[in-house]
C-alpha cells in the first residue's frame, strides 16, 4: 500500500495504490476522483471513471466528473428553502429556476481542497465554505477522506460542521464505465438495486415528495441490463431522458449496507456499492458529454457512456419536512460514508 503526491496541471494530485496494483488518483479541485484503475477478468487494469485531460478543466463548469458536490448536492426547487422560520434564496443554475449541485458560483465541485492528512492507504482533503456563498448560511468545514483497501474497495467518508444552523447534502459525482472510460455506452451493464421504492419526478424534473414502489422499468431487484427498458415510452423515463432517479436504501446513517451492484460482462468487472445514506441516485449520463473539454487519454464521451451512483439524501429534500433530511444544526456533525468495491466474475 502506498501514497504519492504530485501534480496534474496546476492542481495537486494524490495517488493511492494497494497490494493488488489497484490505483486511485484524486485532484485538489472538487476533491475529484481523477482515475480508478481496477483489474478485469484477464488481469488487465482498466480506468473505470471518466475525466478531463487537463487539470484546469476541473475548475470550469461542466458535468462534475468525479467531484464532491455540495453544499447541497442535487436539486433545490425554485432556488429557495426554509430553515428555522427564515427563507433563503440560493444561486440559480438549472432551467433558469432551480439550484443544482450547490449553484453556479464556486460550488464545492470546483473548490480547491487542501490536504489535511494522509496514511499509506488514505488521504483526507478539506475545504471551507464561507457564510452566504451561493445563498447558504454559515461557515462550513468539509473533510473528505478517501480510503483504499487491499480488498479493492474505495471508501469515501464525509465529515462536515458549521458555525450556525444550515443545510447540507454531499455526494460524489463519479461517472463509471466498467468497460473502461471511453469504451462506449453502459446499456450492457447489469444492475441489481436492492430497493423496493424510488422517488419519482414531476414534469419539471423535481422530486415531489412521494415514494413509488418499483415496478417494470424501475425494478432492478433481479439483475437487469440498464439498457433493457431505458428507452421505453414511459413518463418517468421521458422526463429525464433515461434514469435520473433516487432509490431508497436501508442506510440509517450508521452501518454500511449493500444497496447496488453493477456488472459488466465484457470486462468481468463487478462493482458493489455500500452506504449508510438513505438513497442512491442512478444517473445514466443522459446529458453527456455536456462540455467540449478534452477527455483524458484521448478518449471521447457520448450520451450514456457512463453512469453515476450518487449516495445521499432525497433530491429536493429541503422542500419536504416528511423526509427530515438535509438540515445540519450548530453543534451537529454530518458524517456519512460510501464504498465502491470491485471484484471480477
User: For this structure, is 173 an active site residue?
Assistant: yes
CA distances 102 to 74, 80, 169, 342, Å, are 8, 12, 9, 30
- Residue of 12, 25, 77, 310 marked active site: 310
CA distance 101 to 140: 16
For residues 147-178, one letter each, b for 16 or more C-beta atoms within 10 angstroms of the residue's C-beta and e for the rest, the string is bbbeebbbbbbbbbbbeebbbbbbbbbbbbbb
- Residue of 65, 173, 189, 245 marked active site: 173
**Shortest CA distance to 36 belongs to which of 340, 344, 345, 305?**
340
User: For this structure, is 266 an active site residue?
Assistant: no
Show which residues are catalytic.
Answer: 173, 310
Amino acid at each position: 500500500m502506498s501514497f504519492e503526491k504530485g501534480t496534474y496541471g496546476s492542481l495537486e494530485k494524490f495517488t493511492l495504490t494497494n497490494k493488488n496494483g489497484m490505483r486511485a488518483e484524486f485532484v485538489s479541485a472538487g476533491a475529484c476522483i481523477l482515475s480508478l484503475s481496477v483489474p478485469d477478468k484477464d488481469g488487465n487494469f482498466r480506468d473505470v471513471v471518466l475525466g478531463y485531460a487537463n487539470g484546469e478543466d476541473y475548475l470550469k463548469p461542466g458535468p462534475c466528473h468525479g467531484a464532491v458536490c455540495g453544499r447541497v448536492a442535487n436539486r433545490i426547487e425554485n432556488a429557495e428553502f426554509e430553515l428555522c422560520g427564515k427563507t433563503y434564496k440560493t444561486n440559480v443554475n438549472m432551467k433558469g429556476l432551480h439550484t443544482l449541485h450547490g449553484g453556479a458560483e464556486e460550488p464545492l465541485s470546483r473548490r480547491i481542497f487542501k490536504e489535511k492528512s494522509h496514511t499509506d492507504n488514505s488521504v483526507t482533503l478539506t475545504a471551507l465554505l464561507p457564510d452566504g456563498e451561493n445563498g447558504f448560511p454559515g461557515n462550513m468545514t468539509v473533510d473528505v477522506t478517501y480510503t483504499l483497501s487491499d480488498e479493492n474497495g474505495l471508501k469515501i467518508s464525509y465529515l462536515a460542521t458549521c458555525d450556525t444552523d444550515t443545510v447540507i447534502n454531499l455526494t460524489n459525482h463519479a461517472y463509471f464505465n466498467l468497460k473502461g472510460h471511453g469504451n462506449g455506452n453502459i446499456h450492457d451493464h447489469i444492475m441489481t438495486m436492492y430497493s423496493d421504492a424510488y422517488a419519482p419526478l414531476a414534469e419539471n424534473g423535481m422530486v415531489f415528495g412521494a415514494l413509488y414502489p418499483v415496478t417494470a422499468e424501475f425494478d432492478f431487484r433481479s439483475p437487469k441490463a440498464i439498457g433493457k427498458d431505458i428507452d421505453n415510452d414511459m413518463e418517468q423515463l421521458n422526463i429525464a431522458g433515461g434514469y435520473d432517479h433516487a432509490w431508497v436504501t436501508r442506510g440509517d446513517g450508521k452501518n454500511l449496507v449493500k444497496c447496488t451492484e453493477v456488472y459488466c460482462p465484457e470486462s468481468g468487472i463487478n462493482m458493489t456499492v455500500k452506504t449508510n445514506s438513505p438513497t442512491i441516485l442512478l444517473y445514466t449520463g443522459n446529458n453527456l458529454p455536456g462540455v467540449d473539454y478534452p477527455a483524458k487519454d484521448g478518449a471521447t464521451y457520448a450520451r450514456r457512456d457512463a453512469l453515476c451512483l450518487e449516495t445521499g439524501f432525497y433530491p429536493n429534500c429541503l422542500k419536504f419536512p416528511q423526509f427530515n433530511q438535509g438540515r445540519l444544526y450548530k453543534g451537529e456533525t454530518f458524517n456519512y460514508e460510501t464504498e465502491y468495491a470491485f471484484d471480477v466474475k
